[in-house]
Structure 1
Amino acid sequence: MTDAPDPDALKALFLPRLRAELDALRSASASTAADRRPVELDQQSVGRLSRMDAIQQQAMAAAQDARRHARGRALDAAIRRIGNGEFGWCADCGDFIGLPRLDLDPTMTRCTDCAR
């Protein structure tokens, strides 16, 4: 089992980072809400090709927002794990995940061995 830092040290190290990323995701999602609105059919001002481009851009914005929401759920879960003392511990074997792996992505829930 790898030596783990104090839970309060983990909290101080990662909680601000997790919250900052979550806030940035929410802000980005709010700022692109107009890009995800349905494309209106107005044949007077938008030609067929322009409308197809608008539909493609709307679909890409919706897919990007779905990825943001998935990342947000992972960040929320990591914040909850910090709160209940489970952050940094492998969900499979119970060993400490390791600071380098958590530094790479603090939403990791499994150690390197279990992730293989």
Structure 2
Amino acid sequence: MNIELFRARLLTEQNQIAEAIDQAQRASATVELDQSSVGRVSRIDALQQQALAQGLLMRLNNRKRKVEAALTRVNSGTYGLCCACEGDVEPERLNADPASVFCQMCAAERQ
């Protein structure tokens, strides 16, 4: 297993997440509308867009924590080991999600 390849993928994803978080933070800012010039439907739409951006921001922060934890495991030499049984995480799982922490068997047990 090429750990450096996974490190590069994780670092790239970390940078992409940071950019996406910046955009989501701007989109989830407080909605300020002049009620005299903006209709009710526009206000509702703006509030819905804000709520969607806030949900996205929560998901991005969650993914950011997972990627950072995976990079910590890379640096400590434990990347690719299951956090439950300490066996090897299948390369297919790591290719699908480089931040995977469980092998297929342990992941199935947790679901």
TM-score (normalised: structure 1): 0.87
Aligned length: 108
SS for the counterpart of 2:7 is: helix
Aligned partner of 1:46 among 38, 43, 55:
38
Residue 89 of structure 2 is matched in structure 1 by 97
Q: Distance in 2 between matches of 1:47 and 1:33?
A: 25
Residue 5 of structure 2 is matched in structure 1 by 13
Residue 86 of structure 1 is matched in structure 2 by 78
- For structure 2, which runs of at least 5 residues remain unmatched after alignment? none
Q: Distance in 2 between matches of 1:43 and 1:81?
A: 51
State the shift of 1:98 in Å: 1.7
Regions of 4+ moved over 6 Å: none
Q: Distance in 1 between matches of 2:16 and 2:54?
A: 17
SS for the counterpart of 1:109 is: coil
Worse-superposed segment, 29-38 or 19-28 = 29-38
Residue 77 of structure 1 is matched in structure 2 by 69
TM-score (normalised: structure 2): 0.91
Q: Distance in 2 between matches of 1:48 and 1:35?
A: 19
- For structure 1, which runs of at least 5 residues remain unmatched after alignment? none
Structure scoring higher RCO (CA < 8 A, sep ≥ 6) equals: 1
SS for the counterpart of 1:32 is: helix
Residue 15 of structure 2 is matched in structure 1 by 23
Q: Distance in 2 between matches of 1:31 and 1:40?
A: 18
Q: Percent identity at matched positions?
A: 38
